Every structure is written in C-alpha cells, then in structure tokens.
Amino acid sequence: MTTMVNPALPSRSAQQLAPGTLAILVRLGLIAAIAVMLAVVSPGFVAADNLLNILRQASLLFLVASGLTLVIIGGGLDLSVGANLTLCACLSAAAIKSTGQPVAGVVVALGCGALVGLTNGVLINRLKIPAFLATFGMLWVAQGIAYWFMAGQVVYGFPPAFRFFGGGFWLGIPVPIWVMSMVGACGLVFMSRTTMGREVYLMGANEAAAVLSGIPVGRRRVLLYVVSGLMAGLAALIYVARLNAAEPGIGEPLLLPAIAAVLVGGTSLFGGSGGVFGTLLGAIILTLIVNALNLLNVSATWHPFVTGAIVLVAMLADAAVNRGARK
C-alpha cells in the first residue's frame, strides 16, 4: 500500500530535523554547563527546593512564550502578550474579589486573553495591518485599559483554592510546573504530530505556497493569535495566584524575556522553524542565567545587557549550525 504525501507540506527532511535535534542538544548542554557552574559557586543550588523554585520561575516565562512561539513559527509576531497578561490579571482579580469564586477569575482571564488574541488576528488578517503595528497598538490599548480599570489600586487577598494555582503542590511538585509540563507536551504533539502543526511551519516558511496548497492561512493565523492570548490569560492566573495580588504593571517586565526565551530556544524570528520544546529550554536557560547573576552578586542593571548578549550568541550559534548542516 502506497502512502500519499501532500508535496506542498514540508517533509521531515524539509523541517531540518537533524539541525533541530542538534540545536536541542546544544541547549541541553548549555543548561548542564550552567548548572555545574552554579553548583560549584553555590553548593545549595542542587538542593531539590532550589531546583523546583527555578523551574517554577521558568514556568511563568514559558507559558507566556509558548503561545508566542506558535505565532512566530507561523510567520507572525505578538508584542501584546505582556500587556494582555496584565489586563487578564487585573480583570480576573476583580472578578474573584467581587464574586468570591475562583472559577469566575479563570473564565474572565481566559476569555479576556482569547478576546485580545482574536482582536489581534482580525486586525492582521482582515484589516491587513502588519503584525508588528497591530500588536504594538494592542499593547498600549490593553495596558491603558488595565490602568484605567484599576485606577491606581492593587487588588489582593484571594481564596486559598485560587492561590493553589500559583503556590500549591501536587505529588510534591509545584502546580505551575505541572501546568508548564502539560502545555509543553500539548505544544510538542501539536507541532510535530498533527497536520495543522505542519501547516503552521509551512505558513511561516512560505505563505504563498501555503495558500496555493489550500491551507486556510487566514483562519490558521487568527487561531494562533487566540492561542497566544489564551496562554497569556493562563499565565496571568498563575502569576496572580502566586503573588496573591494584581496591579496594572504586573506583566510589563515579561515581554522582552518572553521573546528572548523564544529566540534562545531556537525559533526563527522569520518563521518556519523552531518549536515549543526549544522555548521551554530557552525559558529554563534564561532563568538559570538570572539565578547565576544573583548568586554572583551582579547588579540588576546588568541583567538586560547579559540577556541581550545571550540572545545574540544563541542566534549566531543557530546560524552556524544551519550553515554547517547545509554543507
């Protein structure tokens, strides 16, 4: 029996699995090297509690970056994820405080995130506004609504059932790590084992070819932005539950680290390559770097410089790996 293959979709070789696997191994090696260095500098680093705390910190960054990864692989960009998280956090916190029901906060956060993502998708797909401009504008709109809604107030003090999302444990593992693992597994299966996932790669690599092959590029693009918004809403729930508070500036510091996690994880900013698992590794690498800087007593003013340098090195390393694979 002969298996028919749609020539328009990228084959496994076209997705350059070998260089992708090599890139993953390089990042795993980098994580191991940083961990060994930190263990030497600070023996307490290898304590189980410290390792779990690092993974818990990485989980929030990963949740924001995971949806952004799908958008970038599909050839788009979402600069509004941080502001979307802020808006979701403020609205969900107010919903919980006014109703006393954590479920209300969950519904509001996910609904708000999806609505912002849907608006981004419609602006880009229907009105043909470039992704950079549409999501950059949405960044300010969402942030402005959050500041107006909160009116300078901080909402805090939530029920224990809600705080379990950010500070609880299950089987000895913090809940955010479980959430990160489930989202990572779903993203990995979706992008590597489904037709729609392969279509997203083709959209990012060659949109014209995707259109000619019959892929509904517009609907796929809108869906990717909705998923990105949902991930921002989910991250907002984790963040608010962990801090037990919400205020208008809560998501501002996360945009650039989220983009950095995507790039350090090996996803091309030009679309068509990368993956959610790489972003997971990128989030862990950036969290480890921050942990190392803190252990070495490096001033916080140098942290952005170091993060930017790491992003540049990661992109240069990927370019070298891809050139080597093509020879």
Give the Cβ contact number of residue 47 at 10 Å.
11
How many C-beta atoms surround the C-beta of residue 294 within 10 A? 12
Q: Is the alpha carbon torsion for 203, 207, 213, 217 positive or negative? A: positive
Write phi, then psi, for 174 (nearest 5 degrees).
-55, 140
Interatomic CA distance for residues 146 and 216, integer angstroms: 34
Successive 10-residue mean pLDDT values, the chain, 327 residues: 43 51 82 86 81 91 94 94 95 94 94 97 93 95 94 89 90 94 93 92 92 92 96 95 90 85 88 90 90 81 81 74 60
CA 136 to chain centre: 17
CB 50 within 8 A of CB 305: no
Q: State the pLDDT at residue 170.
A: 92
Of the candidates 87, 109, 105, which has an alpha carbon nearest to the alpha carbon of residue 97? 105
Distance from C-alpha of 70 to C-alpha of 93, rounded to nearest angstrom: 27
Tokens representing 172? 């000895």
Buried b / exposed e over 131-140, threshold 16 CB at 10 Å, is beebbbebbe
Pair of tokens at residue 309: 């340098």
* Phi, psi (rounded to 5 degrees) for 75: 95, 10
Query: How many residues are listed for the chain in this entry?
Result: 327
Secondary structure letter of residue 7 according to DSSP:
T
Model pLDDT, residue 4: 41
Provide the total of helices (H) and of strands (E) in the chain, helices listed first: 13, 4
Q: What is the DSSP string of 252-307?
A: GGGHHHHHHHHHHTT--TTSS---HHHHHHHHHHHHHHHHHHHHTT--GGGHHHHH
Q: How far apart are CA 233 and CA 231, in angstroms?
A: 5
- Count of CB atoms situated within 10 Å of the CB of 115: 16
- What is the model's pLDDT at position 322? 62
Position 323 scores a pLDDT of 64
